[in-house]
Structure 1
Amino acid sequence: MRGAAALLAVALLGGTGSAMAQDAAKAGASTASAEPAPKRGGTLTAIIQPEPVILTAALNSAAPTGVVTGSIFDGLVDYDSKLNPVPALATSWETSKDGRTLTLKLRPGVTWHDGKPFTSADVKWTLEEVWKKIHPRNQATFAKVISVDTPDDLTVVLHLSEPSVAILSSLNSNGAQVLPKHLYEGTDILNNPYNNKPVGTGAFVFKEWSRGNYLVLERNPNYWDKGKPYLDKVIFKVIPDAAGRAAALEKGEVQYGVLSPVPLKDAERLSKLPTLRVSTAGYEWLSPWLFADFNVERPQLKDPKVRQALAHVIDRNTISKVVWFGFAQPATSPIPSTLAAFHDAGGISYPVDLKKAEALLDEAGYKRGADGTRFSLDVDYIPYGDDFKRTAEYIKQALKRVGIEANVRTQDTAAYTKRVYGDRDFDIAITWFAAFSDPQVGVSRAYLSGAVGKNIPWTNGSGYRNPKVDAQLTAVQGEADVEKRIQIFKDFQKTVLTDLPSLPLVELKFFTVEAANLRHPAPTGDQVYGSFRDFWFEDVKAN
């Protein structure tokens, strides 16, 4: 999905998808042709599903939180369609020749939604107290930052023990969300009331959260980007039922939905409606992949032979084409193929081979009993929609072929994350991560051992502890030589694909559904977590 306007995998859809491809092309080319002047006014109603657990992406990197808060908080940078950083709260940045100093110049005149000035002190405090201590990804991304200077209110100087090329890949509002120091300093950060009534610097101000129903954001009249936003209000509606989401879009009750908001089988039908557009553009920064975490602390899953056996049972082609309707492709590594420079499975693969799976299970001491059963496992899936549930149901059926009974369990997001990352009360957990534009940012967290059992969502769920891998993932944080860094990641892939604490399943191809009269510039590479500041309706009166 790398590129300026990644389109749907037409081949995987069996030759369909032409209408969707056309709409994606139109969406991606929206700035290429002459556009009328944006119109002020109107309310955008968007889908948010599932409902966020928290409204502060600096503390929880879950996708629903990122989708909502991208309009409340600005990032230090944004990313264009080619994932190059462009100015946002930071107007410029400079790296020293030795790569150990990064200087950011901040935008003057920016205020928090409560009227307090946004300054370098906010960035310094957030980096030291939140990114380096709490954030599930940034503990690794900013690990080499040893001190932060603020010579004036608009200058931030990061001093690093070693160069860190990944930092500039993670400075947008989702990757490194800056919190207001004056509202957080000296408080219990994780339980601060502003986590759920956020005060940001963005184009929209948080107004109301009716849990289970909707979230309301209103236009920021004091936004630094004068004249924006164009919309008066954004309403995020919680619509748990997948068919209900499709109907709401079709009827025009909602005008925007990201991260594949409707059942995959409905996407092609909706794309043919003149009132809607469907596009896969705007997800380039994510590089998402779906995987199964094996709880390596469980008796049956401690032995790598058992985990390898399970890998030989699960058909990733079937998951891609049947379970995900072609909106995915088989994954061969935890580093997705979209990160082409780093991706290398090292010749390690697990093709479907039931005989080999049976033999490995026998060797591990788990022979079939009189009833043909070897053992049973609980399978928990991230509760983000029917596609994830179908993945769990497929795995259940696949494991049954080699004598393993599986019980698929359903729970809400809060219960799921606590079960996997806190209580560790699971056998197999199915989830998806974003690798982002550098595997140090998105992949390392799934294998570093430091976060195991600390109830930090979206980190190492398998419980895998390997000093060699910890050393590799620590080494890339400060390696300035590009080729050496790539080689470390390739060696890392060979190790984890052999030990197999997690099984990569598929690389996901998310899509967005939006109203045809909704206008905005061509999607940026991180549009899914971006701001609605540039969105407007052609016919404001109709909205």
Structure 2
Amino acid sequence: MKKGSFIHLVRNPDYWDAGKPHLNDIFFHVIPDANSRAIAFETGQVDVLRAGDVENFDITRLAGLDAVQLTEAGWEFLQPVGYIHLNNRHKPLDDARVRRAIAHAIDRQFIIDTIFGGFGHETNGPLSRLSRFKDTSVETKYEFDLAKANAILDEAGLKPDANGVRFELQFVPLPYGELWQREAEYIREALASVGIKVNIVATDVPGWFKRLTTFDYDLAENFVYTTPDPAIGISYAYTTLEGDNAGTTGGNVHGYSNPEVDRLLADAAHENDFDKRKALYSQAQKIISADVPLIWTHDIVFPTLYRTKVHNLIATGLGTDENFADVWLAK
């Protein structure tokens, strides 16, 4: 094998847990593109495809191969949620009516079914479906409704010009592969249908990071790991930001500010009683969902593909980010 084409891990005979790990060694193959990774799995070069290793449109086909298993498990700890940042500092996005109109103009089920290959779940708020604190009963549902989106924009005084354009927005896609580029192109077309002209600003990862953390954007793609505790996973994204730099793309780069949400999130973070915490987070979810400071595109599913001879691959909520000590191969 060519140097740099793989990482080889060898069993530690002095591992603290007697009798483990079961495997003698593991090879992590370094394969540059998703199509080649799909071929490597299909031909038997590799036994496991971790989430994100191949494009979603290839997953169903590969899952249909003989002796191959697909699982959505292993993300109970990270709880990823996808969204479109809306820069609340910029007009007209500072108007909640405009943000609601944008939410109604985007067919998020289309994003799940067509762009992400059916992997994902509807969400109308900041928390993952995997969270113990998720309360769907308080969320405002933003159904796909172009007529409603147009009516709201008219009400906000944003009439189309002679070319049918109400206003323009600069959109920074997430530079993480083809799926996100496809989503950005769909968002551009979806918003054009209600008179919003979207200009896609292509950039690399450092450029994307700089634009978001210096608030140099109108729309931007992102996804975050919301984690089991909202005090860690969502509070920093919805608490009023002081200063001129967000510091992290998972933070409040959208500039959302609601004093009541600030209070609820702070109180919940310091509350030890689970039921009281849940009630506080329910109140916060209700307000955040109604304010729609950003567009929650989908509750993300990151599927893992593996051959059925691989046992105990997903043993905890960290999935393939675990230590593989319990994994074993059938003869």
In 2, Cα distance between equivalents of 1:521 and 1:513:
10
Aligned-partner SS, 1:416: helix
Provide, for residues 315-343 of structure 1, a one-character-per-residue CA deviation record: whole Å limited to 9, x for no partner.
12222222222211221221233335532
Q: How many angstroms does 1:368 deviate by?
A: 0.8
Given that 1:332 and 1:504 are in contact with CA atoms closer than 8 Å, whether structure 2 keeps it comes out as yes
Give the letter aligned to residue 94 of structure 2.
Answer: K
| Equivalent residues in 2 for 1:369-518, closer than 5 Å | 369-420=161-212, 422-450=213-241, 453-518=245-310
**Structure-2 change in CA distance of 1:456 and 1:220 (3 Å):** farther
Given that 1:301 and 1:307 are in contact with CA atoms closer than 8 Å, whether structure 2 keeps it comes out as yes
Give the letter aligned to residue 430 of structure 1.
Answer: E
Given that 1:242 and 1:385 are in contact with CA atoms closer than 8 Å, whether structure 2 keeps it comes out as no
Is residue 364 from structure 1 mapped to residue 156 from structure 2 by the alignment? yes
Provide, for residues 465-524 of structure 1, a one-character-per-residue CA deviation record: whole Å limited to 9, x for no partner.
223222211111111222221121111112112221111121122211223433336532
Given that 2:83 and 2:297 are in contact with CA atoms closer than 8 Å, whether structure 1 keeps it comes out as yes
Aligned-partner SS, 2:276: helix
Percent identity between the two aligned chains: 34
Q: How many angstroms does 1:449 deviate by?
A: 3.0
Aligned-partner SS, 2:121: strand
**Structure-2 change in CA distance of 1:502 and 1:231 (3 Å):** farther
**Structure-2 change in CA distance of 1:274 and 1:474 (3 Å):** same
Provide, for residues 442-472 of structure 1, a one-character-per-residue CA deviation record: whole Å limited to 9, x for no partner.
2223212348723323222312122322221
Given that 1:332 and 1:345 are in contact with CA atoms closer than 8 Å, whether structure 2 keeps it comes out as no
In 2, Cα distance between equivalents of 1:408 and 1:310:
16
**Other-structure match for 2:317:** 525
Is residue 291 from structure 1 mapped to residue 69 from structure 2 by the alignment? no
**Other-structure match for 2:30:** 237
Aligned-partner SS, 1:513: strand
**Structure-2 change in CA distance of 1:235 and 1:347 (3 Å):** closer
| Equivalent residues in 2 for 1:248-259, closer than 5 Å | 248-259=40-51
Greater Rg over alpha carbons, structure: 1
**Other-structure match for 2:97:** 305
Is residue 535 from structure 1 mapped to residue 331 from structure 2 by the alignment? no
Q: Which moved more, 1:230-239 or 1:460-469?
A: 230-239
Aligned-partner SS, 1:301: coil
**Structure-2 change in CA distance of 1:534 and 1:383 (3 Å):** farther
| Equivalent residues in 2 for 1:50-449, closer than 5 Å | 217=9, 219-220=11-12, 222-229=14-21, 230-239=23-32, 241-274=33-66, 276-339=68-131, 341-346=133-138, 348-420=140-212, 422-449=213-240
Aligned-partner SS, 1:406: strand
Aligned-partner SS, 2:221: strand
Aligned-partner SS, 1:362: helix
Given that 2:133 and 2:281 are in contact with CA atoms closer than 8 Å, whether structure 1 keeps it comes out as no
Given that 1:313 and 1:399 are in contact with CA atoms closer than 8 Å, whether structure 2 keeps it comes out as yes
Provide, for residues 258-301 of structure 1, a one-character-per-residue CA deviation record: whole Å limited to 9, x for no partner.
22432323222212222533221222223322111101112231
- Extract unaligned runs of 5+ from structure 1: 1-42, 44-207
In 1, Cα distance between equivalents of 2:311 and 2:42:
18
In 1, Cα distance between equivalents of 2:203 and 2:325:
35
**Structure-2 change in CA distance of 1:361 and 1:477 (3 Å):** same
**Structure-2 change in CA distance of 1:341 and 1:471 (3 Å):** closer
**Structure-2 change in CA distance of 1:365 and 1:522 (3 Å):** closer
Aligned-partner SS, 2:227: coil
Q: How many angstroms does 1:439 deviate by?
A: 2.5
In 2, Cα distance between equivalents of 1:362 and 1:454:
33
In 1, Cα distance between equivalents of 2:116 and 2:249:
24
**Other-structure match for 1:111:** none
Provide, for residues 367-416 of structure 1, a one-character-per-residue CA deviation record: whole Å limited to 9, x for no partner.
21111111221222323332222221211111001111112333333332
Size of the alignment, in residue pairs? 328
Given that 1:261 and 1:513 are in contact with CA atoms closer than 8 Å, whether structure 2 keeps it comes out as no
Q: How many angstroms does 1:234 deviate by?
A: 3.8
In 1, Cα distance between equivalents of 2:84 and 2:170:
12
Give the letter aligned to residue 121 of structure 2.
Answer: Q
In 2, Cα distance between equivalents of 1:264 and 1:347:
28
Q: Which moved more, 1:341-350 or 1:285-294?
A: 341-350
TM-score, normalised relative to structure 1 = 0.55
**Structure-2 change in CA distance of 1:361 and 1:246 (3 Å):** same
Given that 1:418 and 1:455 are in contact with CA atoms closer than 8 Å, whether structure 2 keeps it comes out as no
**Other-structure match for 1:32:** none
**Structure-2 change in CA distance of 1:369 and 1:214 (3 Å):** farther
**Structure-2 change in CA distance of 1:222 and 1:423 (3 Å):** farther
Given that 1:375 and 1:405 are in contact with CA atoms closer than 8 Å, whether structure 2 keeps it comes out as yes
**Structure-2 change in CA distance of 1:341 and 1:442 (3 Å):** closer
